[in-house]
Structure formats: C-alpha cells, structure tokens
Structure 1
Amino acid sequence: MGAQASGLGWPDELVELFAARFRVIRYDHRDTGRSTWTFDEQPYPLTALAEDAVRVLDALGVERAHLVGMSLGGMLVQLIVADRPERVLGATLIGTGALSSVPYEHPDGARTPAEELPGVSPGLLEMWARPVEDRGPEAELERRVEHWRVLGGDRIPFDAAYAREQERRIIAHTGHHHAGTAHARADASGMDRTEALARNRVPTLVVSAPAEPVYPPPHAHHIAQAVHGARLVAIPGMGHALPREVHAPLAAAILDHAGRS
C-alpha cells in the first residue's frame, strides 16, 4: 500500500476477490499499523521498504510472488522488479510514478521530460499544506475521511460512510489514531531505476485511473513506456482510492494479468 498506509488499506472485499484464486499477503510497512513506529530513533531510506517486502516473502517461505503496489507501494514494486526480479512472478502498478528519467512520448510524437508531467491537484496540495493537529480520534477520523474524498477524484460518488468504516478499522488495528509522517521524511534518494526498468523481463501491468489526482493519467502511460513490455489497462472512474465501485474491474484486470504471468 502507499505512504503511511496500513496493509488494511487494501479493503477486505477486494482482497477476497484475489483470495478466491491466490494466497494473499498484505502487511504493514514500518511506521504503519502494527509494525514498529521508530523512525525518529532509527531513520531509514524509502528503498528499505522494498527490502522489507522481500523479507516478508522470506519469512513466509514464498520464493516468488505476484506483487501489487499502489502509490508508494507501486514504487516499491518497481524497485523489487529492478533489483530482485527473480522473486517476482508478475507486477501490477497502481496510482504511482515511474522510477525512470526517460521522457514521456505523446501519441503525436512530442516528448515531455518526466519531471514536467502533470502534478498533484491543487485541492490536494492545499490539503497537504495544512498542519495536522492532534484533536483526538474522532477529529482524526473525519480528517482521513475528507482526505479520501479528495483522493477519490470526481468521477465516482464518494461514500463517506464506507471510508469512515475503513479508517475506523485501521485505527483499531493500529492501536492509536496518530497520523504518521515517517515516509514523507524518509530519504528518497537512490530510487531511479531507468536502465533496469528498460531491460525488464517481469510481466508488468500498469493501471491507469482517469480521475487520479496524485499521479494524473499521463503518469500511467509514462510507466508503460518506461517499463519494458508493460501492459496498460484503464479502470473507469478510478482515482487514487479503492472504493467499492472499482473492486470488480480492478480485480478482474489483476487476476487476468496474474493468469498470464
């Protein structure tokens, strides 16, 4: 899952669709959920989170796996595909950016440097700029619900009750309501994998979300160009979230991809 997101960020209903055919592993990154929250005492680079994912596979005795990553998780999957391809049966990248400096080539042949691709929506930037104050668990719950409203985009009607239920479960799972900032503060250097992704041999699916406010659609197309052999699929109405409406089409696309890998 993405930055500061517990493994429960993958909704049970979606996981059950995968579990009908595969063993599903979801876990808490460092400084999320029930994992250790020790960044201030033991800071780490973001690349360490990719190493953690491989260690989870080791601990569970899994030699190779289909990896699905969203947002920061999509970047971690790219790191593993580039650095440890022997551990990956197939990869799915959702709502993320390419760890590649190759320019994005438009249908008309024009090129845009990777760093000039469309950025985060103004509304989301404004929200992120507000200081997060600890005003108690219920206020934090409502802050998260509003965050998901903006992340979900403007195509699928927002179900506040569903988002609230999901976040209430995550807070209970974590054991506290405090908002984490470790992943935003972690060292993000050393992430570029341009050459390795251009040589990629891992079957890779890239999910394009038309209402994506964090990584607008050109990013998905850019990844599909930067990662050798990648396929692109669009999920109608999807933003940077996993509402009920996207579960069936998203699961169908990923299961089809896994079946080919």
Structure 2
Amino acid sequence: MHKFNSAGVEIAYEEAGEGFPILLIHGFASTGRVNWWDTGWVKTLTEAARRVITFDHRGHGESEKLYDPALYAAAEMAEDARRLLDHLGVAQADVMGYSMGARVAAFFTLAHPGRVRRAVFAGLASRMITGVGGAEAIARALEAPSREEVADPGAKAFRIFAEQTKSDREALAACIRSSRDRITADALAAIRVPVLVVAGEKDDVAGDVDTLVNAIPGARGVTLPGRNHMNAVGDRTYKQAVLDFLT
C-alpha cells in the first residue's frame, strides 16, 4: 500500500486499473481491502475500464490510529478523501461509499460537488437522515475485555467483525463515538450530481431506500431482496446496478 499525509494524519491507499477514476470509501471497522477488494468490487470495476482508488479511513487498516473522538467527525473524514484525490492529481471522480463510507461520501459530495461526477450511497439509506443509534453500545463492546462480556447482539456483531479484521478496537471506539453525524433532508436537497442509493431489504442499519431517494433530487434507488447489512456489499445485483448507473 501507498501512504500520504492528510493534514497530519497518515492515510494508506491503493490503486488499480485505468480509466475514469472511482473512489471507494469503506464502512466502519472494515478496510479498503475487506470492503472492496475481497468482495470482488475492484475486479468488477477494473474490468469495466475504471481506475479504482481505495483507502483505509483514519483509525482503520493501515492508516494512522487516533484515539480522540473529536478527530473522527464525518466531515473531516471526507476531507481525507478530498486530500487523497488532491495527492493523486484527480480533479473529478465517481464516488461510492458503503455504510459509514456512504455518510462520508455524502459529506464529500456536499462539500466538494465539483469533484464528484456521480455518487453511490450504499448500506446507508434513511438512517443517514434519522441517525443509526447505538454508538455508545458499540464503543463499549469494542472496549470490553472479551466478546463474551458483550450482551447487546448488534454491538457484539461489530466486536466480532473488528476482531476478524484485526482492527485497533480502541481507535474504532473513538471513531464510532464521533462519526455518525446526521445529514438533514434539507441539506441533502442541495445535491445536484446523479446519485444511486442501494441497501439490502433486511438492512436495519441502513433503513429504507425510498426516504433517502426522495430527499435527493433525481436520485435513483435499488433495494436488494433478502440482503442485510453484512451480506449486501458483494451482491451481484448491487454490482450490476452500479455498473448501469455509472455508464
């Protein structure tokens, strides 16, 4: 992986393929590798003649670990994405985020509309507006001495996932306490680039697709039958919907 300095924070990133660039923004407790490479997304997009850029959020993967929740505001994480494009000399790209990455992608699109040609918000739909909740429970689960001490099933799932990705759980606890900033429907109404919203039918974390689609002028929506938050990311229907949207 390559690394660059994002206003004092070391951010790790990777690239593959050639063509119009697409920036992929991973979800909480994941990494660029786990979210996008291991699920076949990078292969799918490079075969579609795209230059694919992935990176690890601050506090995640190979990027620098920070332990102050104040350093994980979603708007600041969006600036990491913007600084990465600056570092690579990319003036404009398509942007796709999953879960927390969708929130970061939305902040990025709102702050820098000229840098985004098309945007995909996946794994986070109506709850981008209403909020997800449960951040403190997840943080405590991450900080618990062992997973057996975690009673909350939803929080425990994040603890297990963090262990599977060999994450720094203290850094993730700081992140989850700060990164779930809501975006109002009025703010989302200012988006003018084409947007695709994707979420699983059984994804309680994401919420319903239609609410977010209705908040963004001209947005399209896709609900993935039978999919939940964890198994939607590599879904074939999701991939085909994105390929159709981008072309």
Question: What TM-score, normalized by structure 1, do the two folds share?
Answer: 0.68
| 1:148 to partner: Cα distance | 10
| 1:97 to partner: Cα distance | 4.0
Specify whether residues 196 and 131 from structure 1 end up closer, same or farther in structure 2 by C-alpha distance, changes over 3 A only. Answer: closer
| 1:18 to partner: Cα distance | 1.6
Tell me the distance in 2 between the aligned counterparts of 1:197 and 1:37.
30
1:202 aligns with 2:227: no
Instruction: Map 1:88-237 onto structure 2 (within 5 A).
Output: 88-97=116-125, 115=130, 128=138, 131-132=141-142, 133-135=144-146, 168=164, 170-171=165-166, 180-186=172-178, 192=183, 194-217=185-208, 220-237=209-226
1:49 aligns with 2:77: yes
| 1:29 to partner: Cα distance | 0.5
Tell me the distance in 2 between the aligned counterparts of 1:41 and 1:194.
25
| 1:206 to partner: Cα distance | 0.6
- Secondary structure of the residue aligned to 2:51 is coil
Q: Which has the higher contact order (CA 8 A, sep 6+)?
A: 1
Identity of aligned residues (%): 29
Tell me the distance in 2 between the aligned counterparts of 1:197 and 1:55.
22
What count of residue pairs does the alignment treat as equivalent?
214
Q: List gaps (5 residues or longer) in structure 1.
A: 101-113, 152-162
| 1:192 to partner: Cα distance | 3.2
Q: Output one character per residue of 1:92-148: Cα deviation in whole Å (capped at 9) or x when no partner.
A: 111214588xxxxxxxxxxxxx64x9x67xxx99x848634345xxx79xx9xx979
Instruction: Map 1:3-42 onto structure 2 (within 5 A).
Output: 3-11=28-36, 12=38, 13-21=40-48, 22-40=50-68
Pairwise CA RMSD: 3.6
Question: What TM-score, normalized by structure 2, do the two folds share?
Answer: 0.71
From the two aligned structures, give the one with the greater strand fraction.
2
| 1:44 to partner: Cα distance | 4.3
Specify whether residues 20 and 134 from structure 1 end up closer, same or farther in structure 2 by C-alpha distance, changes over 3 A only. Answer: farther
Q: Output one character per residue of 1:45-88: Cα deviation in whole Å (capped at 9) or x when no partner.
A: 22100111111111112111111111111111111222211000
